[in-house]
Amino acid sequence: MKKFALIALASMAVSFSSVAQESPLTQEMKDHAVKIGEAAYKSNLTKDLITSLTTEVGHRLAGTANDKKGREWAMRKMREMGFDRVWEEPVDFPLWHRGSASLEMTAPFEHDLHIVALGTSIGTPEGGLTAEVVQFDEYKDLVEAEPNSLDGKIAYVSLRMAKTGLKGYGYAGQARRMGSVAAAKAGASAIIIRSIGTDDNRTPHTGSMNYEDGVTKIPAAALSNPDADLLDNALKYGEPVTLKLEMSSHSHDPVVTYNVLGEITGSEDPEKAVLIGAHLDSWDLGTGALDDGTGVSIVMSAAKHILDGGKRPKRSVRVILFAAEEEGLIGAREYVRAHKEDHKDFDNILLGAEWDSGTGRIINFAPGVGPTSLSVAREIGYVLAPYGVATLMTNTAKGQSDMSLLGNAGMPAVNLGMEPTNYFDFHHTANDTLDKVDMDAITHNAAIYAMFSYMAADVDVDFTK
Ligand code: ZN
Ligand code: ZN
């Protein structure tokens, strides 16, 4: 009788705890994640990877021989590190050659100005083009220019990017992304913008730009900040300022590059995967250290630390190194197309996160998941709190850079936010080199990526729900 009562009590306790709904994120999972993280903090791997990439390969402009070297580097490293699967997926895109670019002020004063072509711009006719410059304070003023009002002129947007990180970049960057279309609609024969950057060096910033079907393509280039100041000062004299622009940039027929993937295969449900990504390509002016060698090294290192932890998560952790991000998220667009339309396995992605924020130390964790799984996503975030990472109470993350296309296609995502840095002093310039990388910060970031991606791949929860 006594024995029966005890059994009844024990079974009551079991049913009681199941009513209280224990979290699917068990203490064992958290402890193992912390073990992986602690090992990652002690490791030189992230630092070694970015040093190796920038030294052995350098820039990785999409479609070039260096792009191929970069992919071979990534696949070799992932194989050497013992990843279970390493593969490539093709991406077509039009190859672009930067060529040369020069800009002279010919009147009322004479100067050689420092410029770079914007990525995917066409060139000028041979021998260059000489025209009077018309200044616009910012992009929205250029948009309002009347048709034909810029016939035979060079449009110039002089707005200086504010030092407010991504917000400032998005706003000032409109001139770079859409300026050529607005200028051409008003009849301009070329567009020059002040670099989208926060430094005071004579190192202009390149970056992607767009043309629009049905609108004349015109050459587009960026002036360094000091050279834009010089042009602004010359314009203040109120006399016509003429510039001679010569550029030999040009595009070719589509070529093939590849997204590179590597996997730590899950122990129970390997088709399902947490995706941690970065872009492998870079502009060709620096060595692509900050943008996005840091991301490449962080996500590769994170996966290796999970492998070294000695216990596979139930579902896979997949590293994705996107192709041709700089020219307009081309690799990511193809990934979404191929996996939603061709393979129809897009829904197997449990959660995605990208690092494309240079060398900033991760200080917050922002989920973007379904309403029922939000508490688990937050619990994952709380494990990171002792490492200086705050879980934000928002639930709107869509993934950063390439991953935003996946987020917008329905993938649950996590955004990792960073402390402010001087990223936009170097971004897309010849100064994007290894010496700018904060090795302690990227080691921390790799530890954070390892911990959260391990937990997300091991926990029994559907983040879409
Ligand atoms: Zn980037
Ligand atoms: Zn970039």
Distance 207 CA to ligand 2 centre (A): 7
Per domain, the residue ranges of the chain are 6-96+254-458, 99-248
Query: Could you tell me the pLDDT band of residue 166, with boundaries at 50, 70 and 90?
Result: confident
Fold annotation for 99-248: Glucose Oxidase; domain 1 (3.50.30)
pLDDT in tens, 400-431: 999 999 999 999 999 999 998 999 999 999 99
pLDDT number for residue 8: 44
Taking the chain, what is the end-to-end CA distance rounded to the nearest angstrom? Answer: 46
Distance 325 CA to ligand 1 centre (A): 7
234: left (phi over 0), alpha (psi -120 to 50) or beta: alpha
Measured distance CA(127)–CA(130) in Å, rounded: 9
> From the CA of 400, which ligand is nearest?
1
Distance 397 CA to ligand 1 centre (A): 18
> From the CA of 354, which ligand is nearest?
1
Distance 291 CA to ligand 1 centre (A): 5
pLDDT in tens, 87-111: 999 999 999 999 999 999 999 999 9
What per-residue string of b and e applies to 239-278 under the rule 16 or more CB within 10 Å gives b? eebbbbbbbbbebeeeeebbbbbbbbbbeeebebbbbbbb
pLDDT at residue 239 is higher than 80: yes
CB under 5 Å of ion ligand 2: residues: 291, 326
pLDDT number for residue 163: 86
> From the CA of 404, which ligand is nearest?
1
Q: What CATH number is given for 6-96+254-458 in this structure?
A: 3.40.630.10
pLDDT in tens, 67-83: 999 999 999 999 999 99
Distance 351 CA to ligand 1 centre (A): 20
Distance 240 CA to ligand 1 centre (A): 38
Distance 361 CA to ligand 2 centre (A): 18
Query: Could you tell me the pLDDT band of residue 165, with boundaries at 50, 70 and 90?
Result: confident
Query: Could you tell me the pLDDT band of residue 4, with boundaries at 50, 70 and 90?
Result: very low
Distance 386 CA to ligand 2 centre (A): 31
> From the CA of 402, which ligand is nearest?
1
